[in-house]
Amino acid sequence: MLEIKNLHASVDGKDILKGINLTVKPGEVHAIMGPNGAGKSTLSNVLAGRDGYEITQGSVTFQDEDLLALEAEERARRGVFLAFQYPVEIPGVSNIYLLKAALNAVRTHQGLEELDAMDFLTLVREKLKLVKMDEDFMYRGVNEGFSGGEKKRNEILQMALLEPTLAILDETDSGLDIDALKTVSEGVNALRSADRSIVMITHYQRLLDYIVPDFVHVLSDGQIVKSGDKELAKELESKGYSWVHAEGPAA
């Protein structure tokens, strides 16, 4: 499904990713952990297609296509979803409008008819329940005046509606209190399926108590230095990131 090979990326001439290798198969949940400045957000931005990153080496293949050759919107339509660490507020664009435009962009790409207003609303209401959001949120500007938790729930709502093949969750746990973390995690867990892969990027082990990954990778200084199962996260939690630094890059 997703294959990252020897990926190098730089910003303003500064190398951030220095040879990432990662293979994600359908239905798998991977957690990528690492200290600040390790390149976690760069990796998610590069995968989602944000401008401003130069790929200097390597490749990313998504469902047999060269992902890096696609525009951000083309990736989204093919089923790549980035849940943002800091979801932007867009006053003047209603949430419901965004959801409809986004869903129709995906459906059009898939050769499906656009949903009519009634079917769309029925679908949205069903997904709202999943993330415990009130319908009022639909008619406000995108994330406008939302609390941190509401913004993250809104991200998961979009994910639920768009049903991506690959979801990248960038620090989805940051800024969440324990109740919001539970709600968001339940939403994500409900979306786990055999044909949907999830890459979770996080600084803390805490999220992994709620969304249990199949694999855990440690990102440090632009490289994956260690990979394992969920036990690796616990080890990290107790020993700290300096532990993997000391051990050096994985062979």
Partner 1 sequence: MKQLNELATPFATVAESSDLPGQDLPWLQALRQRALTQFSTAGLPAKKQEDWKYTSLWNLSQHPFTHQAVESTVDAAQVEDLALLDDAYRLVIVDGVYVATLSQLDDLPVGLTVCPFSASLDSVKQQLGQQVALDKVGLTALNTLLMKEGVMVHVAADTVVDKPIELLVINSGATADLATHLRNMIVLDVNAQATVVEHYVGVTDGVNFTNVVSEVVLAEQTELFHYKLQQESHQAFHIATLAAKQAAGSQWHTQNITLGGKLSRNDVHSRLEGEQSHTTMDGLYLLNDEQHADTHTRIDHLVPNTTSNELYKGVLNDECHGVFNGKVIVHQDAQKTDSNQYNHNLLLSRGCAIDTKPEMEIYADDVKCGHGSTVGQLDMDQLFFLRARGLDDVTARSLLTHAFAVDVLARLPSETIRQALSAVIEQRLPRGEKS
What residue ranges bind partner 1 (CB under 8 A)? 48-51, 71-73, 75-77, 81-82, 84, 87-88, 90-93, 97-98, 101-102, 104-106, 108-109, 141, 158, 162
Write out the two tokens for 25: 């198969």
Which of 82, 181 has the CB closer to partner 1? Answer: 82
Write out the two tokens for 160: 């639920």
Which of 158, 205 has the CB closer to partner 1? Answer: 158
Question: Which pairs with CB-CB distance under 8 Å and at least 24 residues apart come from 6-9?
Answer: 6/57, 6/58, 6/59, 7/43, 7/46, 7/55, 7/57, 7/58, 7/59, 7/60, 8/55, 8/56, 8/57, 8/58, 8/222, 9/42, 9/46, 9/53, 9/54, 9/55, 9/56
- Tell me the CA distances in angstroms from 220 to 116, 154, 159, 164, 170, one per residue in order: 47, 30, 28, 28, 16
CB of 107 to partner 1, least distance (A): 10
Which of 110, 189 has the CB closer to partner 1? Answer: 110
Which of 85, 205 has the CB closer to partner 1? Answer: 85
CB of 88 to partner 1, least distance (A): 5
Which of 18, 152 has the CB closer to partner 1? Answer: 152
CB of 159 to partner 1, least distance (A): 10
Contact 54, 15 (CB under 8 A): no
CB of 197 to partner 1, least distance (A): 17
CB of 28 to partner 1, least distance (A): 22
CB of 206 to partner 1, least distance (A): 26
Contact 249, 238 (CB under 8 A): no
Which of 30, 75 has the CB closer to partner 1? Answer: 75
d(CA 144, CA 140): 7
Cβ-in-10-Å burial (0-12, 13-18, 19+) of 98 comes to middle
